[in-house]
Amino acid sequence: MKGASGFSVEDFGLAASYMPRHYSPVWKAPLPGWRESLDKECLRIPTEALPSIFFRADGVGAAGQAFEAVCRLFRHHGVPLALAVVPAWLSPARQKRLFSTAPLDEELWGWHQHGWRHVNWQDSGRTSEFGANRPPERQHADILQGRQKMEAHFGQHFVPIFTPPWNRFSPATVKALQALEFKGISTAGELPPGVKLPWDLCNFAVSINLHTREDKDPARDFTRLLEELCSLAGKSECVGIGINHQRMTPFAFQFLHCLLYNLRHVVKARFFSFREILNGSDEKQAGARLC
């Protein structure tokens, strides 16, 4: 695999013709001068304001070539990756392929729970598996069923963190997570109305989502993304960056490869896994509470 100066999708085990069915407009094709712009923004981050960062990958369950490529990429850079697994998607065959790609004894991977089935139960409004339309007892039952399956498949490697599908949940979700002794929830954006996280439930908040962006103007969205990345400097809490391997185009892989290189070797950011944060590793940098 090449350094930041060279790239081909074959380096990551992808076919030259690879292209996902769904992707954000910004990742359709490389934009003119994108790499120079990324390098310039990373150089603007002052060394005295080094951010602490975690990466979270959603929608894990069936390991395909995109998932395998993402794991190769993060292994190459030595950066931990929190893997949000949809429990209902697991099967013995899928588990075998997951573990051949991301072995359980490899400390890079933060296996945690991503809902139960990743289905929408809302009658109206935005999609959510654990929204206001789900009765509290059904939410509790689904989260429990998912946790039991996660523990059966991952054993001691399961990290008791819950990422709600579509990053949406309700007060009943929080109560269920507390009752089932989860240690944290990983959110994105503003907390839902009426939700206040208790002191014993850490928030592993994702502040930048790379691959579920909705702006239809690629150039404008790329500029906004660089601004978001530059804003990482000076953050006192650990900053989360969300990825979705199923929506990554060859350009998205190329960008992430160069971003990881810049964060590790230019910005010299500190990277943390979910387990390290939960265990209080370097609490001053990672954020002891996060919430």
**In the structure, what pLDDT confidence band is assigned to residue 7 with cuts at 50, 70 and 90?**
low
Query: 98-138 pLDDT, tens per residue?
Result: 999 999 999 999 999 999 999 989 888 889 999 988 999 99
**Range in 44-58, 59-73, 179-193 the model is least confident about:** 44-58
What is the arithmetic mean of pLDDT over 247-254? 95
- Matching residue, tokens 């939410």: 139
**Helix ranges, the chain (H):** 34-44, 65-77, 92-101, 136-154, 171-179, 218-230, 250-261, 274-278, 283-286
DSSP SS3 for 66: helix
First-residue to last-residue Cα distance in the chain: 38
Task: Taking residues 39-56, report their average pLDDT.
Answer: 84
To which CATH superfamily is domain 32-286 assigned?
Answer: Glycoside hydrolase/deacetylase (3.20.20.370)
> What 3-state class would DSSP assign to 132?
coil
**In this predicted structure, what is the pLDDT of residue 51?**
72
Is residue 287 scored above 60 in pLDDT?
no
pLDDT in the model for residue 232:
81
Contacts of 119 (CB under 8 A, 6+ apart): 129, 165
| 90-95 long-range contacts, CB within 8 A, separation 24+ | 90/61, 90/149, 90/153, 94/61, 94/62, 94/63, 95/153
Residue-level pLDDT at 284: 40
pLDDT at res. 5: 52
Confidence of residue 261 (pLDDT cuts 50, 70, 90): very high
Could you tell me where the beta strands, DSSP code E, fall in the chain?
52-60, 81-85, 109-113, 161-162, 184-185, 202-203, 206-209, 239-243, 270-271
Domain-wise residue ranges, the chain = 32-286
Residue 47 confidence (pLDDT) above 90: no
Q: Within a 10 A sphere around the Cβ of 236, how many other Cβ atoms?
A: 10
